[in-house]
């Protein structure tokens, strides 16, 4: 195994005297002594507790309101109606009322939430074609086999967008109404800018065509709409022609599959340009007009509307501050135990003697 | 039975040697049997053969099965790339290693096959390489008179004295006549090949006559011809059938205990994996039954499965989870272990402190699979000749007429000047003696001193060789005899020449002719030899030398009366010498009366011609004349130990390693060495010797208190138990096979790691049998080295090999395994927790690329660096505190308990890794309100936390941060982020949209403060408990290492085994009193 060396002579086979080969590399040997470990534990405890306290205070200043509308208010009838699949094409509208006691200051975000909807099933998550969604014409006409069986409609046309994820897209729509003394008025929501920049601009693209004059409908000609959809993909947003096709923001939001069966997805952002919403959502009575399309009764799911403000570390999140406080306290406890043990056994090195 | 010239006849026997008289010339080694084919591959067969072999390994076959499973779409939970990339890398690295191994192995074996063993009939005496015989040969004729032939059998039995072999008279008459020899057409009918080195029975049929053949006519493979110009012989056995090869034992594939443990653990993990798979599959069945069934609206294609058979769905899920969780049995484990071992082997090869400058021989790790076992050795079996000793005898001291000469300890001899022998032109320049009073006594012409050296010059069987005038070379049967004659030569009694009837001495420059009347041979029973000579003055004298006890029994009673003090002093001196480990001989003489001798000679002549009981008759006659001796003195010859042997043995003993010496040598020699190595000491007063010829005898001795019968099955246990109670065990007169049996006995019954060290062919079997075989290289024979796992030039390097390299290897390997299993549990079990949230659908938590690269890119190098460079204790302390070796012997650093702990830590870490981000992100939004609880973001958060947690953990586990560790740890983190962002980049996605669907996730996640808050929390929560536990352990139950690192030097006894070279320490060691005092 010894490497033959070029130089001959009496000491030809003598190994090199390098620090590496002789295992004498200069090195730093940190040691777990009480002088380093105990201060570290106390330091970590303090950092965690302080951070936790700060986060807690921050979270206290955020607001969140959840309204379960599965069969609340007048939605009960819609819930019953959606039980029968034959009624899928009949529209059903209902209203849920709620009250905001304290004003939601700052940016307010409007989410829809689904409970017990498994977007994280393996077969479900795989059932999409990113090649199609990025606008590749090949994939548009000939989607990936992963989309099976949501790949061709009953006419044999390729489905765009194909796959189970797109097929099950959430299709309730909401109108938030503010009831003040001055009367009822619709709360203005931005329905765009609710996606990640990368999704909107890179990951999702409409099919590229050389002829720029073609309408979106023409571009998607020869493709079928997903089975459960009521509208084709190029007609998702009737009010904004640029928000159609694969770059429809609701579609993009839906296509970012949730990790857990309970999730919320952004629906809109409060437009604060208009009075009286410049400072956020004022306290008062509100109602949500819901176009109730998405059936959840098959999977014992629930639907909800969430209104929330955010802090510097994101939306309302009680777990993080509490977790920090708990961790901090546990570390403090550990530190005290360590100190006691060290004081009793390790300090004068009694245990160290043989 | 074999007939020499009858190939057809021989071929009827499976063991028959393809041999005939045409090829009888002794050194014909082109016999195909003599070639040992060891190359496994050639250029063309390499790829298929190697791949076939690799897939025979259970682990690789397992991953191949996984790969096939992944190609089934219903099961495939990972893309096939995730398994293929690591598998291909592992196969590639292993293939390269196998190829280099095979290359080296082949190269090694070509050396012995191609030794210049002088294929020409007259064996020329090639000085640099002594002609090692390559087959078992019947001696036909030789250059010496009467067909005598001298051989040295050190390679076979460790004995260094010359032995005589004599050809049959009828064949020795053939002489060097090639044509006659070529026409030799004798038939030999002999015993089948066996491993008995001292027995051979056969009959030669030639010219209608029968001639009995015995061992005295055989030259065995491994012998070296000495003092014989040439010889002819007939090959009886060649190749594997030679007695030497029969004694070699089988080559077994050696595996370390860690290896075996690792395989067990991998099986456990596999069982664990199956359990998890079953749990998750059951979970899936239940989930499908209760929830999934109603979910089928969104997953149309599974409808038949779901509605009809949820159990089938569970079955598919089981396989999917087996694929996902396969990273628990990490594919890179075996290859990483091999890389680490290879690195450790290179460190051994590179070690300058194990490089022997005189012979230009570096240490060599010849196998790369046993390193960590070097840190667990409990028993060392050492050969004596050439291993502990240099095989050089030095005349060291003597006691003449009650007066002792010579320095007290040869090892501090540097203090006294050497005696100047320039007055004597015939002196041997290499001879050194350190007491000039002896020379003065010679010059004073003290009669007893003169007689002393005269005896040494006369009473021996040495052959002188004088090529040039005054350039004397002695050929001695045993090296100690040579040493004594050389001593006499230097002190002015030069043995110049001998004929069968005379011996010529140059006594202080004048030639004196002695008439040699009789030689009373040495043998093991008599333990003495005598010569009867007539000096020029006509006086007849008997000179006798022999073991001190034997001689003292035969002294004339007047010795005790008249020279009471003298004799006592001599006896005292003799026992003192023996206590110092010197070989002691007592010298005595007797004046003989002419008439008495004449009568005795007649009886001797008669006795030597009787056929029956000739031996006994001669012995009785010798006994009769060797009585009433007058004591002259005693000599002490040092069997020179290799440098540093006693210190090494002392140090290894402190490390709780038991050292047994196994030698083919005589009992006395073995005991002397025991004393000089400090293995036996004066304060051990219960040295007992077990020897006996029958089962019963040995049994009785064992109950009270060597080998041949003690190795019978029924006595094995008693022997073992007795031997293990002893501080020191020395086995003498053991054959090579018995050495192996002793090793095997300890190995199987004590469950301890054994190491055998030796230098000659007689050690091959024990080297092969022991867990670890070490060969002493740089010597004549290569057999031991070739059979060994490690080789170096000096016994003392064993200390460094075990206490430094072995200890480090074991420590590193254990830490490596602990961390490796921990890391993979932490990594993989996250999927288990996620299973409960994703309907047990075998959805992965991580990006597939992360799964592919985690083990082979993100976390491989830091743990490799730890496995290669870590040092808990530096080498100086490893030597200073040999007790640090203890944990390895007790196997405490990595065992099933430790594995359980690392599993626990891994499971705990995976739990926190999953549930802290789960709690934090389940319902959370980004600071711009858009959601972040999607699966891809979650994957990035968990994988980033995981990489950071395991990096922090390796940082805490590393004791010795070299620059390499820094580069690897920080580099791995940097590479992780670099690859993460690259994989999530726009460019890659726009080229391969379906392979890189995580586009932008890293950017969108890692810019969030909350993400970093979660990563920080996870890291702290995962790492702090382990840190606290370790700190508590150090305080409450400090290990030896903690203590040694912690306690400053002055609190400990200063144990002086480190400084191998300084002489004064050696001196201290020779005084037990100093060892026992605290300082």
Owner of token pair 């005790």: B560
On whether the CB atoms of residues B942 and B917 are closer than 8 A, the answer is yes
Q: Which of B301, B362, B1008 faces A13 most closely, judged by CB atoms?
A: B362
| A228-250 mean pLDDT | 87
Tell me which chain A residues have a C-beta less than 8 angstroms from the C-beta of B350: 15-16, 21-22
B481 annotated ligand binder: yes
DSSP state string for B889-909: HHT-SSSHHHHHHHHHHHHHH
CA–CA distances in Å: residue A32 to residues A55, B631, B777, B958, B1021: 32, 70, 43, 11, 18
Q: Which of B301, B1046, B1047 faces A148 most closely, judged by CB atoms?
A: B301
CB contact under 8 A, B1027 and A23: no
Write down the pLDDT at residue B55.
76
Helix (H), strand (E) counts: chain A: 10, 13
Write down the pLDDT at residue B750.
84
Write down the pLDDT at residue B780.
59
Q: Catalytic one among B259, B383, B480, B789?
A: B383
| A149-164 mean pLDDT | 86
pLDDT in tens, A281-291: 999 999 999 99
Separation CA A276–CA A272 (nearest Å):
8
State the smallest CA–CA distance between residue A189 and chain B in angstroms.
13
B733 annotated ligand binder: yes
Write down the pLDDT at residue B123.
37
On whether the CB atoms of residues A316 and A62 are closer than 8 A, the answer is yes
Q: Which of A195, A315, A345 faces B1035 most closely, judged by CB atoms?
A: A345
Separation CA B202–CA B212 (nearest Å):
6
Please count the CA atoms within 13 angstroms of the CA of B234 that sit on its side-chain side: 30
Pick the closest to residue A2 from B790, B362, B772, B110 (CA basis): B362
Question: CB contact, 8 Å: B290 with chain A?
Answer: no
CB contact under 8 A, A315 and B1035: no
Write down the pLDDT at residue B1078.
32
Please state at what angle helix B860-869 crosses helix B331-350, rounded to 10 degrees: 30
Separation CA B655–CA B1034 (nearest Å):
22
Pick the closest to residue B541 from B561, B518, B562 (CA basis): B518
CB contact under 8 A, A345 and B925: no
Owner of token pair 């007058």: B630
Please count the CA atoms within 13 angstroms of the CA of A279 that sit on its side-chain side: 6
State which residue of chain A sits closest to B941, comparing Cα positions: A259
Write down the pLDDT at residue B898.
92
Separation CA B991–CA B982 (nearest Å):
13
| pLDDT per 10-residue tile (average), chain B, 1079 residues | 45 35 34 44 77 75 82 78 80 80 53 33 38 78 79 69 77 78 79 77 82 82 77 79 71 76 87 93 88 70 58 87 85 84 92 88 86 91 84 81 69 58 76 79 83 88 75 75 86 83 85 87 78 88 85 76 55 71 81 87 81 78 86 83 87 89 74 76 55 50 44 63 73 78 86 88 84 82 79 92 93 93 94 91 89 89 92 86 88 90 94 91 72 86 95 92 93 95 90 87 88 92 90 78 52 32 32 31
Write down the pLDDT at residue B28.
34
CB contact under 8 A, A319 and B937: no
Q: Which of A13, A127, A198 faces B1000 most closely, judged by CB atoms?
A: A198
* Consecutive H or E run containing B776: strand B772-776
Give the residue, A28 or B863, on which the prediction is more confident.
B863
Write down the pLDDT at residue A112.
92
- Chain B segment 1036-1065 residues within 8 A of A by beta carbon are 1036-1038, 1042-1043, 1045-1047, 1051
ipTM value: 0.94
- Asked whether the CA dihedral B541, B545, B550, B556 is positive or negative, the reply is positive
- Chain B segment 958-997 residues within 8 A of A by beta carbon are 959-965, 986, 989-990, 993-994, 997
Write down the pLDDT at residue B1068.
31
| A51-71 mean pLDDT | 90
Separation CA A105–CA A123 (nearest Å):
41
pLDDT at A223 over 60: yes
Pick the closest to residue B950 from B1065, B856, B819, B831 (CA basis): B819
Separation CA A220–CA A218 (nearest Å):
5
> Per residue in B635-668, is it b (16+ CB within 10 Å) or e — as a string?
bbbbbbbbbbbbbbbbbbbbbebbbbbbbbbbbb
Write down the pLDDT at residue A47.
95
B183 carries an active-site annotation: no
CB contact under 8 A, A310 and B932: no
Helix (H), strand (E) counts: chain B: 43, 28
> For residue B900, with 0-12 CB atoms within 10 Å meaning exposed, 13-18 middle and 19 or more buried, which class applies?
exposed
Tell me which chain A residues have a C-beta less than 8 angstroms from the C-beta of B945: none
CA–CA distances in Å: residue B1074 to residues B392, B643, B799, B1065: 29, 21, 21, 10
- Asked whether the CA dihedral B592, B594, B600, B604 is positive or negative, the reply is positive
Contact partners, residue B939, CB within 8 Å, separation at least 6? B844, B845, B846, B847, B850, B998, B1001
- Chain B segment 835-894 residues within 8 A of A by beta carbon are 837-839, 841-844, 869, 871, 875
Write down the pLDDT at residue B311.
82
B665 annotated ligand binder: yes
Please count the CA atoms within 13 angstroms of the CA of A218 that sit on its side-chain side: 8
Any alpha helices (H) in B958-1000, and if so which ranges? 963-983, 986-991
């Amino acid at each position: 195994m010894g490497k033959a060396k070029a130089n001959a002579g009496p000491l030809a086979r003598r190994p090199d005297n390098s620090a590496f080969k002789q295992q004498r590399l200069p090195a730093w040997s940190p040691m777990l002594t009480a002088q380093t470990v105990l201060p570290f534990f106390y330091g970590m405890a303090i950092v965690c507790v302080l951070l936790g306290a700060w986060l807690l205070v921050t979270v206290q200043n955020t607001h969140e309101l959840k309204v379960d509308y599965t069969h609340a208010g007048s939605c009960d009838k819609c819930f019953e109606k959606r039980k029968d699949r034959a009624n899928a094409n009949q529209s059903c509208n209902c209203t849920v009322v709620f009250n905001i006691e304290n004003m939601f200051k700052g940016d307010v975000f409007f989410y829809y939430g689904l409970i017990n909807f498994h977007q994280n099933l393996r077969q479900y998550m795989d059932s999409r074609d990113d090649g199609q969604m990025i606008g590749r014409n090949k994939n548009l006409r000939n989607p990936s086999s992963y989309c099976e069986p949501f790949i061709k409609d009953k006419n044999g046309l390729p489905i765009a967008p194909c796959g189970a994820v797109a097929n099950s897209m959430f299709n309730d729509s909401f109108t938030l109404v503010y009831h003040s003394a001055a009367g009822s008025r619709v709360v203005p929501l931005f329905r765009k800018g609710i996606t990640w920049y990368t999704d909107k601009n890179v990951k999702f693209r409409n099919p590229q065509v050389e002829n720029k004059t073609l309408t979106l409908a023409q571009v998607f000609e020869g493709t079928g709409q997903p089975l459960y959809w009521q509208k084709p993909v190029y007609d998702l947003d009737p009010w904004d022609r640029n928000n159609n096709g694969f770059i429809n923001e609701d579609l993009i939001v839906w296509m970012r599959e949730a990790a857990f069966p309970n999730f919320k997805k952004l629906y809109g952002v409060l437009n604060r340009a208009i009075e009286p919403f410049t400072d956020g959502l004022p306290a008062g009575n509100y109602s949500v007009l819901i176009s109730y399309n998405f059936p959840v009764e098959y999977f014992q799911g629930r639907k909800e509307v969430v209104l929330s403000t955010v802090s510097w570390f994101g939306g309302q999140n009680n777990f993080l501050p509490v977790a920090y406080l708990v961790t901090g306290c546990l570390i403090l406890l550990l530190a005290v135990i360590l100190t006691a043990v060290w004081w009793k056994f390790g300090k004068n090195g009694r245990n160290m003697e043989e | 039975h074999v007939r020499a010239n009858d190939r057809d006849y021989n071929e009827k026997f499976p063991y028959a040697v393809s041999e005939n008289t045409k090829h009888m010339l002794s050194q014909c080694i082109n016999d195909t049997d003599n070639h040992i084919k060891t190359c496994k591959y050639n250029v063309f067969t390499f790829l298929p053969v190697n791949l076939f072999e690799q897939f025979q390994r259970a682990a690789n076959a397992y991953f191949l099965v996984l790969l096939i499973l992944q190609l089934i779409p219903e099961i495939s939970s990972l893309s096939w790339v995730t398994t293929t990339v690591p598998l291909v890398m592992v196969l590639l690295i292993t293939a390269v290693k196998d190829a280099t191994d095979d290359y080296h192995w082949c190269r090694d074996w070509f050396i012995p096959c191609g030794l210049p063993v002088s294929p020409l009939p007259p064996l020329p005496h090639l000085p640099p390489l002594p002609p090692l015989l390559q087959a078992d040969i019947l001696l036909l004729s030789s250059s010496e008179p009467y067909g005598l032939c001298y051989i040295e059998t050190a390679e076979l039995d460790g004995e260094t004295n010359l032995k005589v072999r004599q050809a049959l008279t009828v064949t020795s008459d053939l002489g060097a006549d090639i044509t006659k020899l070529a026409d030799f057409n004798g038939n030999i009918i002999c015993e089948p090949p066996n491993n008995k080195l001292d027995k051979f029975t056969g009959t030669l049929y030639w010219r209608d006559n029968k001639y009995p053949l015995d061992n005295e006519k055989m030259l065995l493979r491994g012998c070296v011809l000495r003092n014989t110009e040439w010889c002819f012989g007939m090959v009886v056995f060649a190749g594997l059938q030679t007695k030497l090869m029969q004694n070699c034992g089988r080559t077994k594939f050696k595996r370390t205990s860690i290896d075996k443990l690792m395989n067990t653990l991998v099986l456990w993990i596999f069982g664990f994996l199956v359990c998890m798979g079953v749990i998750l599959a059951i979970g899936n069945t239940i989930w499908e039954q209760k929830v999934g069934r109603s979910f089928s609206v969104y997953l149309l294609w599974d409808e038949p499965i779901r509605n009809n058979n949820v159990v089938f769905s569970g079955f598919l899920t089981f396989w999917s989870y087996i694929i996902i969780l396969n990273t628990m049995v990490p594919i890179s484990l075996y290859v990483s272990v091999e890389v680490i071992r290879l690195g450790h082997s290179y460190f051994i090869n590179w070690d300058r402190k194990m490089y022997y400058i005189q012979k230009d021989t570096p240490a060599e790790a010849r196998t790369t699979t046993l390193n960590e076992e070097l840190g667990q050795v409990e028993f060392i079996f050492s050969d004596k000749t050439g291993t502990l000793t240099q095989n050089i005898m030095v005349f060291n001291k003597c006691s003449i007429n009650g007066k002792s000469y010579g320095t007290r300890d040869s090892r501090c001899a540097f203090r006294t000047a050497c005696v100047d022998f320039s007055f004597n032109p015939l002196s041997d320049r290499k001879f050194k003696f350190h007491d000039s009073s002896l020379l003065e006594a010679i010059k004073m012409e003290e009669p007893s001193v003169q007689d002393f050296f005269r005896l040494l010059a006369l009473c021996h069987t040495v052959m002188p060789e004088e090529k040039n005038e005054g350039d004397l070379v002695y050929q001695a049967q045993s090296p100690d005899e040579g040493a004594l004659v050389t001593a006499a030569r230097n002190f002015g009694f030069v043995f110049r020449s001998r004929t069968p009837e005379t011996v010529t001495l140059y006594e202080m420059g004048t030639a004196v002719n002695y008439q040699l009347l009789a030689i009373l041979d040495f043998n093991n029973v008599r333990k003495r030899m005598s010569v009867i000579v007539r000096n020029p003055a006509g006086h007849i004298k008997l000179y006798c030398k022999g073991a001190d006890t034997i001689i003292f029994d035969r002294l004339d009673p007047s010795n005790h009366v008249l020279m009471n003090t003298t004799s006592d002093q001599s006896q005292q001196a003799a026992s003192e010498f023996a206590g110092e480990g010197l070989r002691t001989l007592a010298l005595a003489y007797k004046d003989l009366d002419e008439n008495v001798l004449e009568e005795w000679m007649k009886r001797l002549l008669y006795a030597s011609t009787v056929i029956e009981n000739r031996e006994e008759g001669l012995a009785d006659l010798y006994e009769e004349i060797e009585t009433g001796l007058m004591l002259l003195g005693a000599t002490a010859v040092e069997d020179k130990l290799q440098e540093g042997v006693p210190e090494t043995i002392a140090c290894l003993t402190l490390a709780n390693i038991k050292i047994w010496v196994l030698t083919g040598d005589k009992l006395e020699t073995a005991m002397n060495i025991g004393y000089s190595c400090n293995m036996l000491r004066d304060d051990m007063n219960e040295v007992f010797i077990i020897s006996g010829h029958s089962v019963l005898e040995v049994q009785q001795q064992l109950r009270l208190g060597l080998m041949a019968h003690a190795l019978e099955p029924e006595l094995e246990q008693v022997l073992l138990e007795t031997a293990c109670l002893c501080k020191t065990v020395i086995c003498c007169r053991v054959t090579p096979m018995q050495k192996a049996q002793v090793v095997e006995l300890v190995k199987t019954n004590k469950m301890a790691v054994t190491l055998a060290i030796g230098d000659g062919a007689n050690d091959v079997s024990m080297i092969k049998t022991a867990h670890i075989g070490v060969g002493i290289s740089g010597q004549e024979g290569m057999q031991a080295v070739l059979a060994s796992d490690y080789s170096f030039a000096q016994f003392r390097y064993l200390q460094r090999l075990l206490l430094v390299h072995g200890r480090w290897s074991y420590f590193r390997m254990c830490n490596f395994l602990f961390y490796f299993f921990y890391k993979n549990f932490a990594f993989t079990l996250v999927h288990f927790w996620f299973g409960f949230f994703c309907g047990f659908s075998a959805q992965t938590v991580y990006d597939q690329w992360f799964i592919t690269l985690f083990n082979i890119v993100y976390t491989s190098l830091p743990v490799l660096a730890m496995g290669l460079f870590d040092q808990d204790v530096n080498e100086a302390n490893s030597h200073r505190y040999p007790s640090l070796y203890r944990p390895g012997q007790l196997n405490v650093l990595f065992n099933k308990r430790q594995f359980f702990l690392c599993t626990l830590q891994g499971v705990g870490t995976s739990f926190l890794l999953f549930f802290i981000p789960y709690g934090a992100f389940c319902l959370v939004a980004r600071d711009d309100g858009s959601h972040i609880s999607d699966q891809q973001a979650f994957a990035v958060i968990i994988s980033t936390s995981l990489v950071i947690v395991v990096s922090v953990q390796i940082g805490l586990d590393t004791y010795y941060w070299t620059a390499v560790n820094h580069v690897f740890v920080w580099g791995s983190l940097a590479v992780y982020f670099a690859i993460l962002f690259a994989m999530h980049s726009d460019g890659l996605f726009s080229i391969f949209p379906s392979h890189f669907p995580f586009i932008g996730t890293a950017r969108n996640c890692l810019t969030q403060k909350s993400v970093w808050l979660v990563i920080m929390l996870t890291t702290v929560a995962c790492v702090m408990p382990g840190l606290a536990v370790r700190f508590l352990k150090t305080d409450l139950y400090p290990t030896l290492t903690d203590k040694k690192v912690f306690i400053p030097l002055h609190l400990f006894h200063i144990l002086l085994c480190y400084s191998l070279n300084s002489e004064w320490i050696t001196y201290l060691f020779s005084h037990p009193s100093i060892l026992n005092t605290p300082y």
